[in-house]
Amino acid sequence: MNTALLISYFSNYLPLKPQETEALISRVKERRIKRRQFILQENDVCQHITFVLSGCFKMYGVDAKGKEHNLQFAAENDWIVDFASLYKEKPSKLYIEAIEPSLILQIFRDDLYYLYDNHTVFNRNFRIMVENKYIELQNRVLQNISSTAQERYEAFLEQYPLLSNRLSNTQIASYLGITPEFLSKIRADRKLK
């Protein structure tokens, strides 16, 4: 199992001791995911938190008209999870789908709670991760209500610098809340500068 990237991720916050590393590795499941395969679908209860080793995912909801609204992307060295469904054990309103063939590590809810209860370093490390995701969400909400589409696109590029060439205009436009055509115009104007 390829856990080096995950161990390295935690080293950025509070490094793991050998027994903590062992506990983590024993509770992580590796999965290969095909392009367009779901790891969560609407009305399922989210059972795990997912760390992306390779590939790319999108988390999105679908409105009553069938339109997709992308909320988050996750690529290498990032986490993706529907926290509301995972922690409240309620059906999700979201989908998490692979955009590319991917290799992931998953920690199931009970294993996550075991790590929290038995190794305080995980409680702290995951709290930092959740806090960072919350900050991203706050920034995104503020941008959506107070920024121009151009400013939102610049913020997207800052948050996801390596994804602009891996995602379609449709996916990025959905994330920004604009049409793909308007995104094309923004991109063309940006090249002229």
Helix axes 109-118, 18-26, angle to 10 degrees: 160
Q: What is the pLDDT of residue 193?
A: 72
How would residue 2 be classed by pLDDT, with cut points 50, 70 and 90?
confident
Instruction: Say which range, 24-28, 49-53, 58-62, 189-193, has the weakest mean pLDDT.
Output: 189-193
- Mean pLDDT calculated for residue range 163-184: 94
Residue 1 pLDDT exceeds 80: no
Instruction: Report the amino acid identity of residue 34.
Output: K
How would residue 84 be classed by pLDDT, with cut points 50, 70 and 90?
very high
Beta bridge partners of residue 13, listed in sequence order: none
Helix residue spans in 27-162 (DSSP H): 83-88, 109-118, 120-146, 149-159
Residue count of the chain, please give it.
193
Beta bridge partners of residue 105, listed in sequence order: 30, 51
What are the pLDDT digits (tens) for 91-138? 999 999 999 999 999 999 999 999 999 999 999 999 999 999 999 999
Asked if 169 contacts 160 with a C-beta cutoff of 8 angstroms, the reply is no
3-state helix, strand, coil in the chain (%, to 5): 50, 25, 30
